[in-house]
Protein backbone atom coordinates (compact mmCIF):
# COMPACT_ATOMS: atom_id res chain seq x y z
CA UNK A 1 0.00 0.00 0.00
CA UNK A 2 1.17 3.51 -0.72
CA UNK A 3 -0.07 6.74 0.87
CA UNK A 4 2.04 9.75 -0.15
CA UNK A 5 1.10 13.34 -0.79
CA UNK A 6 3.22 16.32 -1.85
CA UNK A 7 1.74 19.80 -1.97
CA UNK A 8 2.85 23.41 -2.21
CA UNK A 9 0.73 26.10 -0.66
CA UNK A 10 0.47 29.00 1.76
CA UNK A 11 -0.24 28.76 5.47
CA UNK A 12 -3.71 29.99 6.44
CA UNK A 13 -2.70 30.45 10.07
CA UNK A 14 0.34 30.35 12.33
CA UNK A 15 1.20 26.82 13.50
CA UNK A 16 -0.22 26.03 16.93
CA UNK A 17 2.33 24.13 19.05
CA UNK A 18 0.97 21.79 21.73
CA UNK A 19 2.30 18.80 23.63
CA UNK A 20 0.68 15.41 24.13
CA UNK A 21 0.25 13.99 27.65
CA UNK A 22 3.58 12.21 27.19
CA UNK A 23 5.36 15.42 26.13
CA UNK A 24 5.53 14.86 22.36
CA UNK A 25 5.36 18.17 20.42
CA UNK A 26 2.63 18.48 17.77
CA UNK A 27 1.55 21.41 15.57
CA UNK A 28 -1.54 21.93 13.50
CA UNK A 29 -2.09 24.54 10.80
CA UNK A 30 -3.99 25.10 7.59
CA UNK A 31 -2.56 25.07 4.07
CA UNK A 32 -4.22 26.72 1.05
CA UNK A 33 -3.32 25.10 -2.29
CA UNK A 34 -4.38 26.67 -5.58
CA UNK A 35 -5.64 24.40 -8.33
CA UNK A 36 -3.79 24.48 -11.66
CA UNK A 37 -6.89 25.14 -13.74
CA UNK A 38 -9.67 27.70 -13.88
CA UNK A 39 -13.30 27.08 -12.96
CA UNK A 40 -16.20 27.71 -15.34
CA UNK A 41 -16.26 31.28 -14.00
CA UNK A 42 -12.63 31.77 -15.12
CA UNK A 43 -11.14 31.82 -11.61
CA UNK A 44 -8.58 29.59 -9.93
CA UNK A 45 -10.08 27.68 -7.03
CA UNK A 46 -8.30 26.89 -3.78
CA UNK A 47 -8.37 23.76 -1.63
CA UNK A 48 -7.74 23.95 2.12
CA UNK A 49 -5.99 21.18 4.05
CA UNK A 50 -5.28 20.57 7.73
CA UNK A 51 -1.58 19.82 8.31
CA UNK A 52 -0.24 17.99 11.38
CA UNK A 53 3.47 17.76 12.26
CA UNK A 54 5.11 15.83 15.09
CA UNK A 55 8.27 15.97 17.22
CA UNK A 56 11.22 17.97 15.82
CA UNK A 57 9.33 18.97 12.67
CA UNK A 58 6.57 20.36 14.90
CA UNK A 59 9.06 22.49 16.82
CA UNK A 60 10.69 23.76 13.62
CA UNK A 61 7.27 24.54 12.10
CA UNK A 62 6.19 26.49 15.18
CA UNK A 63 9.46 28.44 15.25
CA UNK A 64 9.83 29.38 11.57
CA UNK A 65 6.44 29.20 9.84
CA UNK A 66 3.96 32.06 9.83
CA UNK A 67 0.64 32.71 8.17
CA UNK A 68 1.07 33.39 4.45
CA UNK A 69 4.43 31.61 4.05
CA UNK A 70 4.88 29.41 0.97
CA UNK A 71 5.88 25.85 1.91
CA UNK A 72 6.21 22.40 0.39
CA UNK A 73 4.70 19.63 2.50
CA UNK A 74 5.39 15.93 2.03
CA UNK A 75 3.48 13.37 4.06
CA UNK A 76 0.47 11.08 4.11
CA UNK A 77 -3.32 11.46 4.28
CA UNK A 78 -4.82 10.22 7.50
CA UNK A 79 -8.43 10.06 8.66
CA UNK A 80 -9.67 10.64 12.17
CA UNK A 81 -13.16 9.85 13.44
CA UNK A 82 -14.73 11.82 16.25
CA UNK A 83 -18.08 12.64 17.80
CA UNK A 84 -19.29 16.21 17.25
CA UNK A 85 -21.00 18.29 19.95
CA UNK A 86 -24.39 17.45 18.47
CA UNK A 87 -23.63 13.72 18.90
CA UNK A 88 -23.11 12.95 15.20
CA UNK A 89 -20.12 10.98 13.97
CA UNK A 90 -17.65 12.98 11.85
CA UNK A 91 -14.54 12.15 9.87
CA UNK A 92 -11.62 14.55 9.52
CA UNK A 93 -8.98 14.23 6.79
CA UNK A 94 -5.53 15.49 7.74
CA UNK A 95 -2.12 15.57 6.09
CA UNK A 96 0.49 14.22 8.52
CA UNK A 97 3.70 15.81 7.32
CA UNK A 98 6.98 13.91 7.31
CA UNK A 99 8.94 16.69 5.62
CA UNK A 100 8.52 20.41 5.16
CA UNK A 101 10.51 22.87 3.09
CA UNK A 102 10.18 26.64 3.23
CA UNK A 103 10.12 28.05 -0.29
CA UNK A 104 10.68 31.71 0.45
CA UNK A 105 13.66 33.50 1.88
CA UNK A 106 13.32 35.07 5.31
CA UNK A 107 11.45 38.36 5.17
CA UNK A 108 9.98 37.75 1.71
CA UNK A 109 6.22 38.13 1.67
CA UNK A 110 5.39 36.72 -1.77
CA UNK A 111 7.00 34.57 -4.41
CA UNK A 112 6.67 37.43 -6.91
CA UNK A 113 9.31 39.31 -4.92
CA UNK A 114 11.73 36.37 -5.19
CA UNK A 115 11.36 35.42 -8.86
CA UNK A 116 12.55 38.67 -10.50
CA UNK A 117 15.73 38.58 -8.41
CA UNK A 118 16.38 34.96 -9.39
CA UNK A 119 15.74 35.78 -13.04
CA UNK A 120 18.22 38.66 -12.98
CA UNK A 121 20.92 36.48 -11.37
CA UNK A 122 20.49 33.76 -14.00
CA UNK A 123 20.53 36.22 -16.89
CA UNK A 124 23.56 38.12 -15.53
CA UNK A 125 25.55 34.95 -14.85
CA UNK A 126 24.66 33.11 -18.06
CA UNK A 127 27.59 32.22 -20.31
CA UNK A 128 27.80 33.95 -23.69
CA UNK A 129 26.01 32.26 -26.58
CA UNK A 130 28.41 30.82 -29.18
CA UNK A 131 28.30 32.56 -32.56
CA UNK A 132 27.42 29.34 -34.38
CA UNK A 133 24.57 28.63 -31.94
CA UNK A 134 21.76 29.73 -34.27
CA UNK A 135 23.19 27.79 -37.26
CA UNK A 136 22.96 24.34 -35.61
CA UNK A 137 20.78 21.80 -37.33
CA UNK A 138 18.46 20.27 -34.79
CA UNK A 139 15.32 18.18 -34.64
CA UNK A 140 13.93 20.21 -31.72
CA UNK A 141 13.93 23.80 -30.46
CA UNK A 142 15.82 23.12 -27.23
CA UNK A 143 19.21 23.57 -28.91
CA UNK A 144 18.11 27.00 -30.11
CA UNK A 145 17.17 28.35 -26.69
CA UNK A 146 19.36 30.81 -24.84
CA UNK A 147 19.21 32.59 -21.48
CA UNK A 148 17.02 35.35 -22.93
CA UNK A 149 14.33 32.71 -23.65
CA UNK A 150 13.86 31.96 -19.94
CA UNK A 151 10.56 33.18 -18.53
CA UNK A 152 10.51 32.80 -14.77
CA UNK A 153 6.75 33.27 -14.61
CA UNK A 154 6.47 29.75 -16.08
CA UNK A 155 8.62 28.18 -13.34
CA UNK A 156 6.28 25.93 -11.27
CA UNK A 157 7.67 27.02 -7.89
Residue pLDDT, tens place only, 42-69 = 888 899 999 999 999 999 999 999 999 9
* pLDDT over 80 at 144, yes or no: no
Question: So what's the pLDDT on residue 122?
Answer: 42
- Segments making up each domain of the chain, as ranges: 5-103, 113-149
96's CB contacts (< 8 A; 6+ apart) are 52, 53, 54, 75, 76, 77, 78
pLDDT in tens, 64-118: 999 999 999 999 999 989 888 999 999 989 999 999 999 976 665 544 444 444 3
Give the helix ranges, DSSP H, for the chain.
55-64, 111-125
- At 147 the three-state DSSP class reads helix
Specify the fold of 5-103.
Answer: OB fold (Dihydrolipoamide Acetyltransferase, E2P) (2.40.50)
Amino acid sequence: MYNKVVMVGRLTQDPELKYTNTGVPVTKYGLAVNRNFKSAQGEYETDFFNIVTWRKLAEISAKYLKKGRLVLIEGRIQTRRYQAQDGSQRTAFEIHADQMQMLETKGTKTEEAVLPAIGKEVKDSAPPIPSDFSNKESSDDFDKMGPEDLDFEDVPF
